[in-house]
Homo-oligomer: A and B are copies of this chain.
């Protein structure tokens, strides 16, 4: 897909009087941070701008909402420009798709691999660690005044999408941007506390419960844990609050294959699989009717959690023997 330049997109935004910004559903730090930063910059330049959402912003990202985020599509009746950030497919903002496309001009700023172009203007760069990286470049191109609020939102986008500058998508440019954000007066610790020290007790409880079932096998190379529907009910945890568990399991020393089994409904479980250095979990997932990548894959099985744990252990043991 041919990209437009930052200059071309900046010109579109500079000509507009009103701009609605669209992060994807289940907004993460990159989606929400990119949206907040862009909305703030547009307002600084005298535009009418809001971030239109269709589901609740996670508690730990609310600190960025200085009156930008709204559920109300009529907040701008006929916006000149729609900009979607961190999503390259209208299926990522299903409830807002019609409104998005109703704008005179549509723009996409994203770092995901996308299959088809669906906006009038696009800046899609899969080499960017976060969409926030692209939004930062765009804001600078627009000539908007950069301030600490811009910095906090861009920092949020970068730190969350790179796992605190630990994942392989982390680039030199991330660090060069971070140095600039320090100059804007961003209080790294304050923002990190907002993002990372805002965990619901229910999340800690469900994580603790899952990890208390941890079983290490295959000579220390395999590790598995599980959760039942009863665990979810008793702790009051939300489904998305189990997301970090597989990472905890993978982090164990010596573990090459990590698995996490979660009962979705009676007799149906979702299995998450991770490999560390040498393993290939895509092969295991495919064999069981699922899919994914070499290091991160998954499948859904029609059986109890206990049966799934036994099946997955057997499959991982086979894979370990083949290493």
Q: Which residues of A does B touch, CB under 8 Å?
A: 59-60, 159, 164-168, 170-172, 175-176, 178-179, 182-183, 187-189, 192-193, 196-201, 204-205, 207-209, 211-212, 214, 216, 220, 223, 248, 250-253, 276-277
Q: Is the CB of A216 within 8 A of B201?
A: yes
Copies per complex of this chain: 2
Give the one of A170, A192, A220, A253 with max B CB within 10 A. A253
B residues less than 8 Å from A208 (CB atoms)? 208, 211-212, 214
Flag if B175 contacts A171 (CB, 8 Å): no
Report the 10 A-B pairs with minimum CB-CB distance, sorted nearest first: A172-B182, A168-B189, A164-B164, A166-B192, A175-B178, A175-B179, A197-B251, A208-B211, A175-B175, A198-B253
Residues of B within 8 A of A171 (CB): 182
Bound CA–CA A188/B162 (angstroms): 10
A248 CB contact (under 8 Å) in B204, B220, B223: B204
7 contacts between A and B (CB under 8 A): A164-B166, A166-B188, A175-B175, A175-B179, A199-B252, A204-B252, A207-B211
Contact B201 A188, beta carbon cutoff 8 Å: no
Closest to A215 in B: B201
From A189, A205, A220, A276, residue with most partner B Cβ within 10 Å: A189
Min CB distance A203 to B, Å, is 9
Q: Are the CB atoms of B168 and A165 closer together than 8 Å?
A: no
The answer to whether B168 and A175 touch across the interface, beta carbons within 8 angstroms, is no
* Cβ-neighbour of A253 out of B59, B159, B207, B251 (below 8 A): B59
